[in-house]
Structure formats: structure tokens, C-alpha cells
Chains A and B, each alone.
Chain A
Amino acid sequence: MSKIKGFCCNYTLSVDIEALIKEGLVPEDLEIERLPCTGRLEVPQLLDAFSDGAEAVFVVGCQLDKCHNLSGSYRASKRVKYAKRILEELDIDPDRVEMFFAGRGETEPVVEAARIMASRSKG
């Protein structure tokens, strides 16, 4: 299992993650799961990622006011908040899970998110 796990909605990240890894732009141990919409994401999925061995988990959805499915990324951000609370209860650093937002088709914010999470996973 990879050390960092990211969930991306279908409308962000237009580039294959392999190409990014090949170019050395993102950590090699990154795994991205594409979802039709991050609104579909449930809290257990986030937690499962940790129990599967991930050191850090992040979600990238549309910008809040421009979500393709209107409120998908808003729902996701609420669930990430909830996941943070659970991590806190379990005495795990809540920063190990984070919500990010990206414009349509943009790749750069995803890469940025992966890097931030990589630094947190080391810390």
C-alpha cells in the first residue's frame, strides 16, 4: 500500500499520475483514486485508506462555488472535517487528512496537495 492516498474528482487533474511520477513531480508512493464526484466519498472510505496503510490522505474537489455537481465538493469537505475529528479521537494528527480544491481540469493544485501531504506524512 502506498504511503499517500489521494481522492480526486473527475473534473480536476487532467494528466495521468504515472506521467507525473515519471517526471518526478510528485512522490513516487502516491496513489490517486478518481471518483465521478468527491460528493460520493464517505467517511469510512477515508478511514479505510489509513487502515490500508496510508500515512496521509487527501481529497481534491472542484472549487466550492464552481462544483460540477453543485454541492459535491462541499459535502466532501464536510466529511473530511468529520474524519479529522475521528482521527483526533484516535489520537492521530488530524492534519493527516485534508481537503483541497482545484479549478476545472487543473493539475497543479493536485500536485501541490500531494507534496503538502507528503511533508505532513514525514512529520
Chain B
Amino acid sequence: MCTMYCPRPVVDTYNERLDITRAPHIDYAQAIPSSYYIDAKACLRVNYETCNLCAQTCTAGAIDFSQQPKELELKVGAVVLTPGFGRVDDEVLERFGYGRFPDVLTAFEFERLTCASGPTEGHIVRPSDNQVPKKIAFLQCIGSRDETCGNGYCSSVCCMYAVKEASVAKEHEPDLDISIFFMDVRTMGKGFDEARKRAQEKYGINVIRARVPRVDQVDGKLALTWTTGDGEHHSDLFDMVVLSVGLESPEDAETIARVTDIELNHYNFCRTSVDSPLLSSRGGVLVAGAFQGPKDIPESVTQASGAAAIASELLADARNSQTVTVTYPDEDKALEEEEPRIGVFVCHCGVNIAGVVDVKAVRDYAGTLPGVVLYEDTLYSCSQDALKSIAEKIKENRLNRVVISACSPRTHEPLFQETLRSIGLNPALVEMANIRDQCAWVHAQEPDKATEKAKDLVRMAVAKARLLTPLDQPTVDVTPSALVIGGGAAGMSAALSIADQGYKVVLVERSKELGGNLKRLKWTLDGQDASKVLKDMIKKVKAHKNIQVFTGSQVESVSGYVGNFTSALSRQGKTEMINHGVIVLATGGREYKPKGYAYGDSTRIVTQLELEEKLARGRGFLRNARNVVMIQCVGSRGDDMQHCSRLCCIQAVKNALKLKELKPELNIYIFYRDMRTYGFYEDLYREARKQGVKFIRYTLDRKPEVIKQSRGIKVRAFDELIGEDLEIPASLVVLSAGIAPGENEELSKIIKAPLTSEGFFLEAHAKLRPVEVAVDGVYLCGLAHGPKSLEESVAQAKAAAAKATIPLAKGKVAVAPIVSKVDQDKCIGCGICESLCPFNAIVLEKVGKRKKAKTITASCKGCGVCASHCPTIAISMGGFTDEAIMAQIHAFSPEGCEEA
């Protein structure tokens, strides 16, 4: 309403200035908090003391112009900095025609264009003439990997987002011709390379490896000229150019640094180190997300959880000292068992519903339905006042079933369930009919039919409500300790964090000693001594009173569920049982063992890790060396394994620089496919080029050959730049072998934690739950999740620790009431349900002489697979019983309603 009446138009910055809104507005429908706010810069009332229209029109009376800014002083134990990233200067964009030519967009603007709720409702049109473009070019590395604008780093995310935006665009306009101009295709995230390949094959997106220097406009078309690796010049005209702008440090980075007294790095991001990526230079000030360095969503989410873990370590002593416990009155069991007395509340949602649906007619209609004793309409059911009045009315009228006819249960059901709980009713006794999304929104053009449909939905909801039954809200006690499987850098970091937060940890390592792959590293990526980092870590783990280390041990079996696991550990033939509340998987990975490239034929053909081991023993082997050849992507990216191993490029560059330092006259050749030195590691790559390391691109169909001769080794490869074969006599060949998954299959079966097609553990949600596994109480970090650097492993380990301590800290796990329930009289013990359950949540147990199925409610997710397959219909789902659903379906026809 306020937006509708405001006379002051302002540019919609959320929609990248492509649209216009009013001074009071909400950025987007899912914004949190989901309330409107007033742009104080534009508001007439705030600036000129005129207007005040919105305050008068707001039916909820939520606009109060008498509010003043207040200064608050808070005492805190830790500060987490998450200011995000800033924007690339317009000056940089102007070099590529942005601002001069209307059809040159930034990728952020393009993102809004492709968005269904964006300014064009998802139609891709040229800003100049509102026509659909035919040919679009994406230019990568705008404001990244570009020293001329001061951003020498790689922004890490743009390659993938360009591929995504191009795919979305093709999905919407299949006839589009899209080209993406890359320097290197840096899609190194988990599953990203596969997604990029699919986009290329499915959508026919052209990948061109060239940097376009400028954009020119001819007759409304955008002209690009570029040079490919073979030296050929090309020109073409496009209808639209999208600039894939990079991630800058936040504009106010220096202010943040001054206020919080932390150090910034040379690109104005927060300075951190490889072994503690979330710590700023000042104790207690933590950092997460893009301010630590450009990164994508999964990594930001991971770091955020990791920062929470560190804050929790710092505050371990203060835990539970300031908590507020909510108490609820006892349930009125007698009332719940009475005949259904249904109350129907029909919501206007301001004009959201009432603008289309005749709310009063729906309300009166509800009154005619059997069992309904109260029917009312409310302006905003979800507002505090309305909830209070609903609660009072439920009490007054002794209602025992409630139907809320409003919006989506996904967003609002918990709110109404809470209201029921607060007055002693079981929360399962509320049912919602979504007349906003399903009537007012989708049928906005046909108000009469929308009203009819709303009546149908209300009738169906009432039919179901009659058969609702109270559900138990069981809670289970938690064993306050964790089992960490894997004693590498990730496992140790996770164990330390959980232990520092005050819980017992059992750390299991299969081999004889702790350390994992870090043992084989000589230097970390920022040049620190890896063995020192490792030693420090092992010392801390061994000294920690909360950590018990089991080396040379393996996990034999795991039973139980979140909060109450029991595992069998085998150690030298003996088995030991331990109880624990949560599991952290940090089983690591291993270096891929190269096939081909004459690996194993000579001691002078080694992997990167073997090179580091050699260097750790001394530099003698370099005495007579002249040429060193490194080959990237050995085993990775479709060579044998499908995935990109993410860190081999950085590792190769790091080792090349170290070799140059030890022996500057060495000739080093690196054969690569795409140099993926993402983030600040781009600095290393540039440094290596400056120092004369020769980088030569190869393609999968023309791989370099390593030929062992009677005397020495020769590498033959095609060089695209000169268009000829090269032959390099090599004193040393270093293969950048990728990262292969560990032997996860067995453990995956024991825990029922699914694996990806490559054999890494699969997270519950790639973006939002990157360290959790689909099984409750099981968390994931390190190479077990996918290839990553030490820095990323440590951050992820902290994140897994943060998530793992949640059930430990709560002490109890609440079980969602929507779980399956077995009627053991009907059960014939066939075991179909047990074999189908994806969460290990249903087991067969002996009852008398026969086997019967039983649900472990704490593990059940309520998916309903068991109920749908039970041959004797012995399994029902709480809140969704067969009878209630059938009643709801029958109620779809008015006659059915009467029958029921």
C-alpha cells in the first residue's frame, strides 16, 4: 500500500537501476526481514516534512516518522566481519563501452533481466530498443586479472556465473547465439566443470579463449575484435555484450579496517593466513565470505559456519549463560479429543489476497461447512496483534482444529503452530489453505474464479482438518561427544574446534600417524613451511584434554541416529565400542596415480607431491638439471577422472617458483589446459610468468607425450602459438596428478552417506548446506568432500565443527512430528520399508516371534517412501494420514464433502 501511494519515484537499485520503485519499498519478495522500508534519501516526509501519505495509508500503522537514530553499545566476545564484496569502478567498465553504448550490460544487470521477478519478468531484451537480441557476447575478467585497474587477482566466480547466465538465457530463448570470451576457463568448483561441459554441449554455448580489448558500436550493433591463440584475428558483431565484472574489496574496506583495527592485504581485502583463513590480524575479530577473498556461495556459507565455530570456541565458557527458554502450557488433551470444533480464519493479506479474492464471501462460505464453529476474516493473520486475537478466539470458542486460509505453509505454518502451542493445543492441529499463491496471485485476472477456487481449497482444508490428530513432539537426549573420522588437516582442525568448544572428541585415523596428505607437502601455498603447520596441529591435538586419538584404527560399523550413535572401532584386531552424538567425516583423498606419461619408467618422472618430497630431502638432484617440464591435468578434467582437482595449477606454479628460487637458470615449461590460479594465487601465476616460466596450452585431443629414450627423457607437444610440435629434452618431468577420492565406498554404506559419481561424499545442499550430509548428525569436511586447498579444508573443518556442535550444545534433539509410524498389528515384517529408507530410519526388530518394522523417529525425515510401498498399508505419516488425504481429495467435489 505504502509503495502504491508514495508520490516519489526512486531508481530500483536492487534491480540494477533497470526499474523504478517508490521511496517505501521492499527489495524483493523473499527479503529478510520481509518488511518494507523507506529510502530516507528520497522520502519527502524525511527531507522536506511534507507528504506523510504512506503513514496514513498503512493499515497496520507500521510507519512511524518520530523514530530517531540511536547509538547502542554492545559487549561482545567476538566480532565476525562479513561485509561482502564491492563493485568494480565504472571507469573500468567504460573502457568496454559501458555507459556509452546502451546494450553493454554488466552481468549483474543481465542477471536481473533473466530473473522471472526482475524488471522484464525474465525476458531478455536490449535496453536500446526493447528487442530480443540474437547474438550475445560475455566478456570475462572485467576488473579482474587486470593490473591496469589495480585488481591483479582472479575473482574466482565469474567464469561459472557467466556459464550459468548463458545457460539460463538459452533456456529462455533457445535461438540465442551466445559466445563467452575467456582468458582461462576457471570452473574449478565441485561439479562446476561438469556443469560447464553440459552447458557447452546442451546449449551450444561458444567458448572462445581470447581477451577482447574493447567494444565498439556500429549502427546499433556491438563490434568485437579478438585474437585467438593461433595468432588469427577475428571480428564479429553482437546485439548485446555482457561484462562479467569481478568482485572488488568493499568500498568501505579501509574504514572497516580502521574501526576494527585489522590489517588489509595489498588488494584491500582482509589479511589472513593459509593455516587460519578466518582469523584477522586482531584476536577475536573473525572474517568470512568475500571480504576474505573473492569466493562463491558454498565457500562463503562454509566460511560463515567456520567463523561461528571460532566464535563459539572463544565463548565456550559463556555458553548458555544468557539463553532464554520458552515454556509452553500443557496440552489440553481433553479438548483435543472432543468432536472437531473448527475455526476458519480467512486472511486479506492487505490487498494481496483481498484485491482479487472476495474474502468475505469465502469466510461466509466456510461457515456453511460441517464442523466449523467460528469463521472470521483478518487483515493480516500473521501480524502480532492478529495472532493474539486468533489465540483468544480459539480459547473463547474452545476450538480444537484451526484452518488458516492465507499464504504458504512453507513460510507461515510454524508461526501458527507456535500460536497453538502457546495456548495449550498440539501444533499439528492447524491446517493451511494457500489462497494467496494459488488463487489471488496466479488467477489475478479472474477474480470470480479465484474466489471459487479459494472456496474449494478452504473446503478441502476443513475436510482434512476434521481428521487431524495431535502428534507427539518427542525429544531425544544427546551424547555430548563427537566422532571424527580421518586424522588429516581437516579432521584435526574439526576435532580441535569441537574440543575447544568444550565437547569430547574421538579422532580416528586409519594409518599409523596423524597428518594425512599434509605430511607430504613441503610448502603451503603461501610459502610457509608445511611441516611446521602440521607439527603445531598434531601437538595441539595430542595435548588437548578433550581429544582421544585412535591411530591405526578403522570404523567397523555405525548404528543409531543423531544424538545417539554407537560405533565399533577396530584396532589391531580388537574392537572397541564408543558412544557419540555426531560424526564428522574427514576421510581425505589421495593423489591420483598417473597412467601413461611414462610414469614409473624413470625416477625423473614424478608427481608434484613426489617433487616436494624430493625437495624436502635436498636439492642435489637439481645439480645437472636444465629443463623441467610440468604437465597439468594428469588424471583430471576428463583425462581419467571427470572433475577438476582445483589446486594442481596453484601447486605447479608454487613449485615452479621454488625451483626458480633454488636454481634461477632452470628452464621450466608448464603444459596446461586452463591455468586455474584463482583468487589471490593469480599473483603467483603472474610472478611465474615474470620469472620466465613458459606456459604452453594444450588440448585434450593433443596431449603432450613423454618419451623415455636410452639417454634421458623427451617431451613432445604441440604449441598452438607457433603452430608446430615442440621437442624438449627434459631433466625432470613433473606430473600434476589430480586429487582422487579416498576409499569412501565402504564408509558410505556404513553411514548411508551418499557419494557423488566421482566418489566424493555428497553434501546435503551444494550451496546452503555445504558441510552437512543428508543423514542427520553427520558432517563433512576436507578432501572427502572434494578437492580443495589446505586453507579451504581448514575453513570447512571449522564449519563442520560448528554444525556438529549444534546438537551437542542443545543437549536434546527435537524430532519433527511428521514421521512415519508403523502399525505393528498390520506389519508382516517383509522388510521392504527397511531396504528403501534413504535415512536408515526404519529397522526390523523381533516382537514376540515375528519381525516387525519400527521407525527410529529421530532419524526419520518424513519422506513417505516407506508408507507408499508398504503392501499392507501398515505405515502412516504423521500429519498426512491416508484418511485425511483421502478426505481432502473427496472434498474437492462438493458432493464428496457431504458423503464424508
Contacts and interface: CB of A to CB of B under 8 A. Distances in A.
A111 B218 contact: yes
B237 A16 contact: no
A15 B225 contact: yes
B218 A108 contact: yes
Nearest to A13: B216
Given A23-B237, A25-B237, A16 B225 contact: yes
Interface string B480-507: 0000000000000000000000000000
A53 B794 CA distance: 74
A19 B237 contact: yes
B237 A108 contact: no
Contacts of A105: 214, 216
B194 to A, nearest CB: 34
Contacts of B216: 14-15, 105-108
Interface string A7-25: 0000000111011100101
A108 B225 CA distance: 14
Interface string B210-237: 0000101111010111000000011111
Interface residues of chain B: helix, strand, loop or mixed (majority): strand
A23 B134 CA distance: 13
A16 B234 contact: yes
Contact of B219 (A16, A19, A106, A111): A111
Contact of B217 (A20, A23, A108): A108
A114 to B, nearest CB: 11
B217 A14 contact: no
A59 B216 CA distance: 20
* Residue among B216, B223, B235 with most chain A CB within 10 A: B223
Contacts of A14: 214, 216, 223, 225, 235
Give the most central of A16, A25, A107: most B CB within 10 Å: A107
Given A25-B221, A111-B219, A19 B235 contact: yes
A interface SS class: loop
B617 to A, nearest CB: 55
Contact of B233 (A16, A20, A106, A107): A16
A92 to B, nearest CB: 30
Interface string A82-108: 000000000000000000000001111
Interface string A103-123: 001111001000000000000
Interface string B323-359: 0000000000000000000000000000000000000
Most chain B CB atoms below 10 A, which of A14, A108, A111: A14
Nearest to A19: B235
Nearest to B215: A14
A40 B236 CA distance: 29
Contacts of A16: 225, 233-235
Interface residues of A, number: 13
A105 B217 CA distance: 10
Nearest to A20: B218
A15 B237 CA distance: 9
A111 B216 CA distance: 12
Nearest to A115: B219
Given A15-B225, A20-B237, A107 B214 contact: no
A106 B218 CA distance: 9
Contacts of A18: 235
A23 B221 contact: yes
A23 to B, nearest CB: 5
Contacts of B224: 15
Contacts of A20: 218, 223, 235, 237
A81 B588 CA distance: 77
A25 B235 CA distance: 14
Interface string B187-226: 0000000000000000000000000001011110101110
A107 B218 CA distance: 6
Contacts of A108: 216-219
A116 to B, nearest CB: 14
A108 B278 CA distance: 51
A19 B236 contact: yes
Interface string B604-618: 000000000000000
A18 B236 CA distance: 9
Contacts of B218: 15, 20, 25, 107-108, 111
Contacts of B221: 23, 25
Nearest to B214: A105
A23 B221 CA distance: 10
Nearest to B233: A16
B137 to A, nearest CB: 13
Contact of A25 (B214, B219, B225): B219
Nearest to A109: B218
A31 to B, nearest CB: 16
A18 B233 CA distance: 12
B219 to A, nearest CB: 5
A15 B235 CA distance: 5
Contacts of B233: 16
B179 to A, nearest CB: 13
A12 to B, nearest CB: 10
B217 to A, nearest CB: 6
Interface in B219-261: 219, 221, 223-225, 233-237
A103 to B, nearest CB: 10
Contacts of B214: 14, 105
A65 to B, nearest CB: 20
Contacts of B223: 14-15, 19-20, 107
A19 B216 CA distance: 13
A52 B133 CA distance: 41
Nearest to B235: A16
A111 B235 CA distance: 15
5 contacts: A14-B225, A15-B223, A18-B235, A25-B221, A108-B219
Interface of A: 14-16, 18-20, 23, 25, 105-108, 111
Given A15-B235, A25-B237, A108-B217, 17 more contacts: A14-B216, A14-B225, A14-B235, A15-B223, A15-B225, A16-B233, A16-B235, A19-B237, A20-B223, A23-B221, A23-B237, A25-B219, A25-B221, A105-B216, A107-B218, A108-B216, A111-B219
List of 3 A-B pairs having minimum Cβ-Cβ separation, nearest first? A16-B235, A19-B235, A15-B223
